[in-house]
Each structure stands twice: as structure tokens, then as C-alpha cells.
Amino acid sequence: MTADGHIGSPLGVGSIVGESFSILFRNFITVLMLAFIPTLAGLVISGLTAGWGVTLGTGDTDFGAEPNWAGIALGYVVQMVIYGVTTALLVQFAYDAKLSRPINVSRYFGPALSAALPIAILGLVAALAMGIGMIFLIIPGLWVYAVFSMIAPAIVIEKVGYGALGRSAALTKGYRWPILGVIILVGICTFLLSFVTVFIAGLVGAATGGGVLVMLVITAVVTSVGYGLGGISVSLIYARLREIKEGVSVDQIASVFD
């Protein structure tokens, strides 16, 4: 019996993390193609509204004495919408890649655009709930994140719309700590990749005088890879939960796109 009182098969944390990296590395160019353009567009819009220092994390603001809170808020909203589009694209891709089906990028955009707004809005709600949890301690905040981690696939696959909060809570019940384990492992790997890449980008930018442009492209690439790994791992967790709890196979999940 798990901490949540659910009896069932193990989630398989190691297997999910390993397969997530396998899918990412086997389809690295495709993942970049799916995530890079929307991510770059989001960074540019955020940079123009919130300032390049805030967007790129350099600590140098472009606002003068007073922070441009309206610009920061707008930039955050834009990032959430971009996240919604990118995640919806990657959820569809992940199942095709797992099943070794043909990758048809053009087929992903219609469902992704229709799912983007609900994912962005509910993602913001989940982020606020996670932030409240973080006020008390880090672990409760991350636990809340695990509760609502299945929002994107529930919207893209099951078309539940704004009911995805409840669907995610029900689907993750009994498996939130293992899900948190996957999230932490993937997060650590993404952070290390980001740290090393941004450090190298800073050196390249200083040597070439590329400045903001170099940092912008590198940040977009790193963020795209992070989105890719996160989207793939969430999709695999969702598939495993559906298999354990409802007896639904990955083939049946992927068939909704046919």
C-alpha cells in the first residue's frame, strides 16, 4: 500500500526516466524542431516586454529604477502559452516515438493549438498552488506539482478541457511520491544541462561579442531540451498510470490521434 492508500503495481521510476532519455536522444533533432521555434518566439516576446536581463536570467534589468511589473506579468503569460503549445506538441510526439510510429510533425499542430490555452491557464493555477505549498516547505510544493502533473496529457489525449485538474488529481492518487521521484530526477538532469550550457554560452558570448543574441539562442536550445525531456517523461508517466489503473495500453492512447 502506498502513502496515499492505493494498492497497485509500481510506477517504475527508473524505467520511465531511462526511456525518457532514450526517446530524447534518439529523436533529438525532432524534439528541437518541435520546441525551439515556439520557445524562441516566447523568449523574444518576453525579452521585449519584461527585459532581456529578466528573460535570460543575467540579473541585468532594462527598466531603470522601477521594475516593469506589467511587462514581467505579460512575459510570464506569454511563456505559459508557449509552454502549453510546446507541451501539447511533445505529448503527441512522445507516443509516436515510443511506438516507433512515423513522426508527422504537421499532424501535431491542430490538437496542440486547441489544447494550448487550457494547458496554460490550468498550468498557471497549478503553479500558484505549488507556490502556496512552497511557502510552507519545498516538499509540499513539489507534492502539489505531482498532483497536477498530468494536466497536459489529460487535455491532449482525453479532451477533458478545464476538468483536467480533477482528472490529474484522480489519476495520480496513490503514485504521487514515485511521480515526484521522476520529476526530481528529470529536473536535476535538466538543471545540470542548463547550468553547463549557459556557462559555455557566456564564455562564447564574451569571446565573440554576441551578447544577447548568443544567450538568446542558447537559452532557447536549453529550454527546448528541458521542455522535451519534461514532456516525454510526463507522457510516459501518464501512459503507465492509465495502464495500471484502467488497463489502457499505449497503442490505445495513441490511437486518438489517428
Report the Cα 1 to chain-centroid distance in Å: 29
Q: How confident is the model at residue 201 (pLDDT cuts 50, 70, 90)?
A: low
- In b/e form, how buried is each residue of 166-196, taking b as 16+ CB within 10 angstroms? ebbeebbebbbebbbbbbebbbebbeeebee
The answer to whether the beta carbons of residues 189 and 20 sit under 8 Å apart is no
* pLDDT of the residue at 1: 44
Whether 132 shows a pLDDT value over 90: the answer reads no
The single-letter DSSP state of residue 3 is T
Whether 61 shows a pLDDT value over 60: the answer reads no
- Average pLDDT (235-242) is 95
The answer to whether the beta carbons of residues 189 and 152 sit under 8 Å apart is no
* pLDDT of the residue at 2: 46
% of the chain surpassing 70 pLDDT: 86
Cell of 127: 503553479
**pLDDT (tens digit per residue) in 147-178:** 999 999 999 999 999 999 999 999 999 999 99
- Which range among 40-44, 233-237, 251-255 has the greatest average pLDDT? 233-237
DSSP 73-134: HHHHHHHHHHHHHHHHHHHHHHHHHHTT----HHHHHHHHHHHHHHHHHHHHHHHHHHHHHH
CA angle in degrees (0–180, nearest 5) for 169-174-179? 75
Q: How confident is the model at residue 198 (pLDDT cuts 50, 70, 90)?
A: low
Domain edges within the chain: 13-257
% of the chain surpassing 90 pLDDT: 37
Task: Please tell me whether residue 182 adopts helix, strand or coil conformation.
Answer: helix
